[in-house]
Every structure is written in C-alpha cells, then in structure tokens.
Amino acid sequence: MPIILTARTPDGARIETSGETLDVNEHGARVRILDPLPDGSRLRVAIVNPYRWRAAHVVWVGGKDPCECGIELERPGEFWGMYFPPDEWTADEPPRTSWRHAAIMERQATTAPAESPAPPPAPKVDPFIILIAGTEVAISAMSLVSIPFNEKTIVLGIDEGSVVLELRRVVNPGSRCRLNARGHHFHGVVKKVTQRPVGGRWGVWVKF
C-alpha cells in the first residue's frame, strides 16, 4: 500500500519521502522508499487512503538496496487496516466459542418449546368436482392493462376441459389466475377469451 514517511535523522535533519509496503505485521513493516533513511531515524508513517498516521522508527536498512528498510511502530496494533492472528494460532485450530455465546445457546436449548410436527399436506382436490355450473367463485388475475383485480362470478360450465366464466374485465390469454370456491384455491391459466363482450361481459376459459 502507498505510504508517506516524514523522518528526523539522528542529526536533526527533516526528510519527507514516499514509498510502498512490502510486508506488514502488527509491529511494523518492510518498506521500499524513494529516498534512503539512516538506521535509527524517528519518523511518522502515513497511509494515504484513508489517511491515518503513526509514529515509528527505522530498525534496519537493506544492504544491497538502501531504499529498502524495516520500520517498527511505536504503538503496535491494527494500523494497516487488517487483522493479524495471534502467534500461537494454527490453521487446524478448532473455532473457539465465547462463554457468553455458549451460555445463550444453552439457555435457548432449555427454554425453546418443542417443535410441533408439520401438518400433513392437504390432499389435492380435482377442480372439476368443485367448479361445476352455477358455482360462485372469486377470481384473482391481472387485467389487460396490467392492473390486478378480484371479481366474483359464476361458473357457466365445462368446455374442452376448461372452466368457462364471465368477467367484466378483459384478460389476456396465457395470463395466470387463481380461483377461490367453497374454501378451495385453484391456480389456472387463461386459455382463451371471447373476441367481443356479450352484455358487457367477456367469456373466459380457464385451464388447470
């Protein structure tokens, strides 16, 4: 990550340079900078985005590359914006649960009511047994102008394996609908619609 270093050399001279981190930990970092710094220099290391800074000092200077050095933070911690696991942590270590979380889980296990068994699914009912001629139904669907509606009507009969209804609103063939009758719900698709209304109502065929 890009950094800016403002340093004071042992003789009191002020140096400001920029660079980047190569390795970081909670105690410091190995960095590469544009201008070399003498070993032992006290400095302020700043991270550009988001801006934050911390006091540090140079603890070693690279031999072959004088612009590579090691800095140690005067106050170690999560300065670099990342979490460092403890030194004794291993990859195969099992996750640890806090005593507070364990107590909450134990209390929930002892106080939670026993789950009641799920009710068996309701048996399917043949719509043509319920939706006979003269049966009053409520149909929910989307009108031709994409407005949802719920309308009560009467089943006129069965034709070509479909229930025939009359509606004041016009619907598109292929649109989905739901019919409620005698406490039962049936989902169907509009198979066809009469070309013109008769007495202000449209004939609708619903297939299940």
Q: Which has more confidence, 116 or 198?
A: 198
Laid out side by side, the sheet with 184-193 consists of 148-154, 136-142, 176-181, 184-193, 202-207, 162-167, 157-159
**Amino acid (one-letter) located at 36:** P
Residue 56 token pair: 């540090």
- pLDDT exceeds cutoff 90 at 103: no
- Residue 203 — pLDDT band, cuts 50, 70, 90? very high
Q: Write down the pTM of the prediction.
A: 0.43
Q: How far apart are the first and last CA of the chain?
A: 63
* 141 and 171 Cβ atoms separated by less than 8 Å: yes
Domain boundaries, the chain: 2-73, 127-207
Architecture of domain 2-73: Roll (2.30)
Could you tell me the CATH superfamily of domain 127-207?
Electron Transport, Fmn-binding Protein; Chain A (2.30.110.10)
State residue 120's pLDDT score: 75
- pLDDT exceeds cutoff 80 at 106: no
State residue 114's pLDDT score: 63
Residue 129 token pair: 């047994």
Give kind and range of the element (H or E) at residue 207. strand 202-207
* 8 and 43 Cβ atoms separated by less than 8 Å: yes
State residue 86's pLDDT score: 63
**Amino acid (one-letter) located at 90:** T
**Amino acid (one-letter) located at 85:** P
Half-sphere exposure in the Cβ direction for 155 (13 Å, CA): 21
Ranking 64-78, 108-122, 123-137 by mean pLDDT, the lowest is 108-122
State residue 93's pLDDT score: 54
